[in-house]
Structure 1
Amino acid sequence: MLRKLFYIITICALLLPFFPAKAQNEAPAKFYLTGLAVSDIGVDSQWYLDKISAPDAWMETQGSSDIIVAVIDSGVELNHPDLKNNIWINLNEIPGNGLDDDNNGYIDDVKGWDFIENDNDPEPNLENPHTIIAVHHGTAVAGIIAAEGNNAFAGAGIAWKAKIMDLRAFDEIGESDTVLVQRAIEYAVKNGADIINMSFVGLGYSSALEETIKYAYQKGVLMVAAAGNESNSMHRTNLDITKSYPVCFDGEGENWVLGVAGTDMEDALADFSNYGKKCIDLAAPATDIFSSLFYDPRYIDFDKYFGGKLNGTSMSAPQVSGAAVLVKALHPNYTNKEIMEVLINSTDNIDGANPYYAGYLGSGRLNVFKAVNHEPISMESVGEQEIKYVLGAVPGDEPKIWLLDGKGDVKKEFFAFAPSFRGGVNLALGDIDNDGIIEIIAGAGVGGGPQIRIFNLSGELENQFFTYETNHRNGVNVVVGDLNGDEKLEIIASEARGGKEIKVFNQNGVEISDKISLGDTVSQIVSADMNKDGKDEIIAAVGKKIKTLNSNGELLGEFVYGYNKGMAAGDINGDGWAEIILTDGNVVKTYTYSGRLLSPGFVGADFVSSGDRDGDKEYEILTRQGSKLYLWDKNLNRTATLYPFGADSKKKFSAYIVSR
C-alpha cells in the first residue's frame, strides 16, 4: 500500500535565544495585558496573545483539565516546566508493569504513545538524525495550546488548563505517513480526546485517512489542521486548485476539519501561508511566534525552555485548538460542530488587510474573547413540546443525554458530566421549579461523585448540588416526586452503589427532611402515588424486597421480588392508584405496592420506565430490549417501536418518557 508522506510545516525558526534554564530562578516581571495580569516572564514576546484577545478571554475562563487535546506531532517534552502539569495521564494504565491494563492495544501507554518507535515514550530522540525545527515542533505546538499560565515561568498558552495527549507520529526530521497518522487519530478518539491538533500537511490523497477523519468527526472530536506553507509569497498555494491534507478533508455538506491559514502582525496573509475558499475556515497569527521549546542541556540547540521566532501555519492551528478548549470549558455540552461554528462566526474581519485574498482566509482572524462569548447558530432552541423521550448513557459510554422527538429521532445531545467519565448517567424528569417546563435531573453513575445536575430541554445547566460528601464515588440514583402534596416536586436521592439510605431535597439542593435509613442496600428508587392520597410515595428496591415508604420513611407495603433489573411506577389505567412495574430482564410484570400481581409477563426488557406521554392521566410503559424502544398502553398493547440509533445499533441506554 502506498503510504503518503506528511511533513511538519514550520518553515522558518530562528530559535532566538530567549529563555535559558536558569530563568525559572530569576525574579519574575509582571506584565499587564488588556484583560488579565499574568506573571509569566515571556508573555511580552507573545504578541499574538493580544492580537487574538486571549487575555480578555482569560477573564472568562482559563480552560479545564477535563478537556483533552491530542497533539499529533514530533513529540512533546513531558517534563517541561510549563507543560508537565498539563500532560494527559492514562489513569486506566498501571505504569511500568508491562501489561495492557486498559486493553486498548498499547502497553504502559501512561502518557501517550510513540507511533514512530512503537513504544510508550513519545518524546523526540536526539540520538536519531534530527533537525532543530522538527525536534522543537511538538513542544512548541503544545505550548501554544496549553503552556501553564500565571506561574512566573516562560510564556503562556491559550488554555492554561487542558490536558495534552502526546501522540508522536512524526520523526526527528519531521516526516510521517498516512498509516502512522491514522493510528494516532484512532488512538486519540478511542482514548477520550476532545480536540485533535494537526500541524502538518501532505499533498497525497488517502481514502483510508479520509475515513479515519470522518470517523473522528462522527465521534464528536473537533479536528484543527494547518493550511500549510510554501517557501515564499510567489509560491503560495490556492487550496481550491491544489488540495493538501488533512486540511482539505471535509464531507459532503459537512465540515470535518477546521482549516487554519496564517497571518502576520498586520493581519495580512503571511508570505508563506496557503489559502482557499473551501478548505480554510479562519486564520490566526503565524509569524514571530514564541513558545515552549524542547529542552536538553546536553545540546546547544536545545538548551532553552522558551524561544522563537517560529513561523508557519503550524503555529496558527494550535491557537485555534487552544481557543476551542476555552469555548468547551465554558460550554461543555457544545458539540464539535457547534464549537466550529462559534470559532468561525466570532472572528475579526481582516479583508481590509487582504484586498486580494478576501474570502480566501475563511471568516477572518481568530478572536478568542469573542469566541468564548458567542453562541453557535446551529444551537436550535428545541421546542419543549417536541421532545417526547430522554435517554441517558449507560456505564462504559460517554456521559451523554439524548433528546428524542415522537418518532424516536435524536434532536439534541449533550454531556451531563465530564466527557472522560464512563460510569453512566442516572436520570429523572420533572417540572421541579413549577414553570410549566420539564427539567432533566441527572446523577452520575457508579464511580462518579455525589453531584446532581439539573438541565433544561435545551441542554443548558440550570443548577447543581451535592447529595453526599464530595469525596463519595458511589454515584447517585435520582427520582422526583411530590412527597408532601404541595404540588411541588422534591428530588429524592440514594447512592447508586452500596447506599442504605435515602435523602430528600428541594429544587435548590436543600435537604428538607431526615434521611431514611433502610438497613440494606438500596439499588433503585422510583416515586408515584401508590395509595391515592394525593402524595407520592417512595418505592425502593432494598435487597430482594420492593418497599413502599411515605415521606417520613414509614413502611406502607413490601414484597419479595428477587432479581430486579429495572423498576418504574405510574398510574397505568388512570384510576389514581399507581402500579409498580418490574423487569428481571426476561419479562415485565406490574404489581400493587403490597405485591399483588396485576399483569402476567408481557415482554422481555433490559430497562423499563413509565410516563404520561399524552397528558391523559394514563401512564404508558416504555421498555428497552437491546437498542430498540417499545411503547405500551394501559392494555399492554404495543403502540410504537423506536430505533434512536438505527435498527442495527448495539447501543445500550436508559430511556424515559416526558410526561405532559
Structure 2
Amino acid sequence: MNTRQNKLMMRAALSTVFAFGLGFSAFAQQNNNWQNQDLKQDTVFGISTEKAYKELLKGKKAVPVIVGVLDGGVETTHEDLKSVIWTNKKEVAGNGKDDDKNGYIDDVHGWNFLGSAKGSVDHETLELTRILRRDSAKFDKQTAQTVKAEDLPAFEAYQKAKTDFDKQKDEAENAVANISALKGVLDEMVKKMGKDNPDQADFKNVQTQTGMEDRLKGIMVSQLENTTYKDFYESQIKKGLDHYQKQLAYNLNMNYDPRPELVGDNYADSKERFYGNNDVAGPDASHGTHVSGIIAADRTNNLGIKGVADHVQIMGVRSVPDGDERDKDVANAIRYAVENGAKVLNMSFGKAYSWDKKAVDDAVKYAMSKDVLIIQAAGNDNKNLDVEKSFPDRRYEGGGIADAYIVVGASGPKDDKTLKASFSNYGKTTVDVFAPGVQIYSTVPGSKYEAYNGTSMASPVVAGLASLIRSYYPKLKAAQVKEIIMKTVTKVNHDVEISGEEGEEAKVMPFAELSISGGIVNAYEALKLAASYK
C-alpha cells in the first residue's frame, strides 16, 4: 500500500468512525436538559420548556394524553418511565386472552408487530434490498431493448435501485476494511504502551513510526480530552465496525429474511391486522426507550431526566427493526395506536424506498379522521427532502396531504453557523420545524441514561410539546396544535453551514430556507398562544 493510499484509507476510516459515534460527551454531561432550556436565560437553544412550567403552567389542570411511540421497543420498567407507561385497563395481564376483544392478546402496554409466539425480529433488510429481491427474477436478465414496453418504467426503477444497492454495499465493505485497518493500528499503538486503558498523556508520549500512527496520535490526544480510551474505543471503533458488519450481514444481504419464521404473517396481504406479540421491548429497546424519555420521563421523581410533557402515557408500538421498517407494520402500528386512544404519534424512522405506500397513506388518513397528530423525524442523511424521496411521506399517492402531521429537523445548542445539526435532513417545503437533536441525554434500557444524536431525538421533543399542549388545552384539535407550534417557532435570521459530500466544501444557507417555518419550536410561546385559542 503506497503513502497516498495510506492517507486516503486513514481519512476514510476516521471520517466513518467519528460520524458514527453517539457517546456521552462533556457537553451532554454538563447540559443534560439543554433541549428544555431557554436561549436567553441558559445560552443554549432549547425550546424554553422549563420557563413555560415556571411561568405559565404552575397550578393549571391537565388531562393525560396517550402518546404512541412507534419505534424499536420501549423498556416499560425503566426507573424514569414506569410511572408514565400506558396500561390497557381492559386487559388482564398474562391470562392469554383477548379480554378487550381488540384482536390483540395481553396487549397490556402496547403491541409488537415484529414477532409471534416464536419470538421477535431483531435485524432486518433495507426496503431497497427487499424490492430488489422481489423484482430480480423479472428484471435481472432484461435490458432496455428486451423488456416489454409496459414494464419499462418498473425496469428503470429496478436499475436505479440496483445501482443504489451496489453503492451502499461497496461503501459498507470499504468501511469495514478501513475501520478494521484503523483498529489494527490503534491496537498496536496501545500494545506498545503496555496499558489496557491509556490516557491522554500516554498518547502524547508514544513514539510513532508511520504517518498513520502519527495522525492517529493527534486524534487520540484530542479525543481523550473529554473521555476515556475504553469509552472511545467502545463507542467509536467497536460500535462503528459492528454497525457496518451488520449492514453486510443483514441490511444488504439479499438472502436474509427473518419474517417468515418469526412473524409468519401473509406479507402480501397489507390488510392483515392481527399478528405479532405483546413484547413491546423486543430484542433491543434502546432507541424507543430514549425517544420515550425525551417525550415524558417522570418530571417529579428526582431521578435521571425530565421529559418535555408531564401528563403523558407512553404506549409502545414496536414496528421498527434494526433495518428498514415494513409499510404493513407501520400502517398497523398507526391503526393500533389510534384505536387504543393515542392522540399524538411519534415516528422516529424513515427510509428511501417504499413497498406499499398506499397502506401507510390509508392508515395516516385514518389517524387524521380521528384527530390524531403525527410527528415524524426528517432523517439523518443531510439531504434536501424537497428533491430526495423519503418515506413515510405525508403527501398521499394520487394527491392530497395529511394536515395534522409535522416533520422535524434537528438543531444544535449554539445559535451560530452550526445551529443546523450536520446530519439533519432539511427542506423548505417538506420539513416543518427544527428542534434540539444533538447530544440529547435520555433513558436507555437497564434504567440507564445516554446521550444520542439524531432527528430521532428532535422528533420526540416536538411530540412532547404537542402532548403538553393537548394535555393543558384538551379542546384543541390536532390541526390547531400543529398550527400553534408552527406559528410560535423562534425564527432564525442568520446563515448556517450545510456539510458537503466527502471531498466537497460546506455551503452556507439561510436557516430560514431549511424548513417551512424557518425556526426552532418554542414551548413557552406555543403555550401562550394556545391559551388564546377558542
Aligned match for 1:116, one of 89, 106, 114: 114
Q: Which residue of 2 aligns with 1:55?
A: 50
Deviates more, 1:205-214 or 1:147-156: 205-214
8 Å Cα contact 1:339/1:376 also seen in 2: no
Aligned match for 1:216, one of 364, 367, 383: 367
How far has the Cα of 1:42 moved from its partner? Answer: 7.7
- Highest Rg: 1 or 2? 1
Partner Cα distance (1:52, 1:91) in 2: 34
Partner Cα distance (1:153, 1:210) in 2: 40
Q: Which residue of 1 aligns with 2:292?
A: 142
How far has the Cα of 1:65 moved from its partner? Answer: 5.6
Aligned match for 1:257, one of 399, 405, 414: 405
Partner Cα distance (2:25, 2:494) in 1: 35
Partner Cα distance (1:282, 1:17) in 2: 26
Partner Cα distance (1:178, 1:138) in 2: 18
**Is residue 322 from structure 1 mapped to residue 464 from structure 2 by the alignment?**
yes
Counterpart mapping for 1:291-440 below 5 A: 291-295=442-446, 305-308=448-451, 310-354=452-496, 355-363=509-517, 364-375=519-530
How far has the Cα of 1:287 moved from its partner? Answer: 0.8
How far has the Cα of 1:247 moved from its partner? Answer: 4.7
Instruction: Give 1:255's aligned amino acid.
Output: D
Q: Which residue of 2 aligns with 1:199?
A: 348
Q: Which residue of 1 aligns with 2:387?
A: 241
Partner Cα distance (1:12, 1:76) in 2: 23
Structure with greater proportional strand content: 1
8 Å Cα contact 1:261/1:275 also seen in 2: yes
8 Å Cα contact 2:491/2:512 also seen in 1: no
Partner Cα distance (1:64, 1:123) in 2: 29
8 Å Cα contact 2:404/2:482 also seen in 1: no
8 Å Cα contact 1:213/1:249 also seen in 2: no
Q: Which residue of 1 aligns with 2:73?
A: 75
Partner Cα distance (1:99, 1:223) in 2: 31
How far has the Cα of 1:44 moved from its partner? Answer: 4.0
**Matched residue SS, 2:513:** coil
**Is residue 186 from structure 1 mapped to residue 335 from structure 2 by the alignment?**
yes
Change (3 A) 1:142 1:43: farther
Partner Cα distance (2:524, 2:77) in 1: 30
Change (3 A) 1:359 1:255: farther
CA displacement 1:578-628 (0-9 Å, x = unmatched): xxxxxxxxxxxxxxxxxxxxxxxxxxxxxxxxxxxxxxxxxxxxxxxxxxx
Aligned match for 1:45, one of 10, 32, 47: 32
Instruction: Give 2:301's aligned amino acid.
Output: N
Partner Cα distance (1:248, 1:274) in 2: 16
Aligned match for 1:158, one of 284, 293, 308: 308
Partner Cα distance (1:248, 1:148) in 2: 31
Structure 1: tracts of 5 or more residues without a match? 1-10, 19-40, 127-134, 231-235, 296-303, 380-457, 459-660
Residue-pair matches, total: 324
Aligned match for 1:14, one of 1, 11, 22: 22
How far has the Cα of 1:327 moved from its partner? Answer: 0.8
**Is residue 86 from structure 1 mapped to residue 73 from structure 2 by the alignment?**
no
Partner Cα distance (1:253, 1:306) in 2: 37
Aligned match for 2:429, one of 270, 278, 283: 278
Partner Cα distance (2:343, 2:29) in 1: 28
Partner Cα distance (2:335, 2:57) in 1: 29
8 Å Cα contact 1:343/1:366 also seen in 2: yes
Change (3 A) 1:77 1:65: farther
CA displacement 1:285-325 (0-9 Å, x = unmatched): 11111111111xxxxxxxx61121x1110000000000011
Partner Cα distance (2:339, 2:81) in 1: 23
Q: Which residue of 2 aligns with 1:102?
A: 100
Partner Cα distance (1:317, 1:43) in 2: 23
8 Å Cα contact 2:310/2:468 also seen in 1: no
Change (3 A) 1:43 1:84: farther
Change (3 A) 1:270 1:154: same
Alpha-carbon RMSD across the aligned residues, in angstroms, is 2.4
Counterpart mapping for 1:436-475 below 5 A: none
Partner Cα distance (1:224, 1:279) in 2: 13
How far has the Cα of 1:111 moved from its partner? Answer: 0.7
Partner Cα distance (1:349, 1:17) in 2: 28
Question: TM-score, normalization: structure 1?
Answer: 0.47
Percent identity over the alignment is: 36
CA displacement 1:200-241 (0-9 Å, x = unmatched): 0122241221121111112100000010011xxxxx211111
Partner Cα distance (2:342, 2:522) in 1: 24
Instruction: Give 2:345's aligned amino acid.
Output: I
8 Å Cα contact 2:62/2:473 also seen in 1: no
8 Å Cα contact 1:68/1:88 also seen in 2: yes
**Matched residue SS, 1:317:** helix
How far has the Cα of 1:338 moved from its partner? Answer: 0.3
Instruction: Give 2:351's aligned amino acid.
Output: G
Partner Cα distance (1:65, 1:112) in 2: 20
Structure with greater proportional helix content: 2
8 Å Cα contact 1:12/1:311 also seen in 2: no
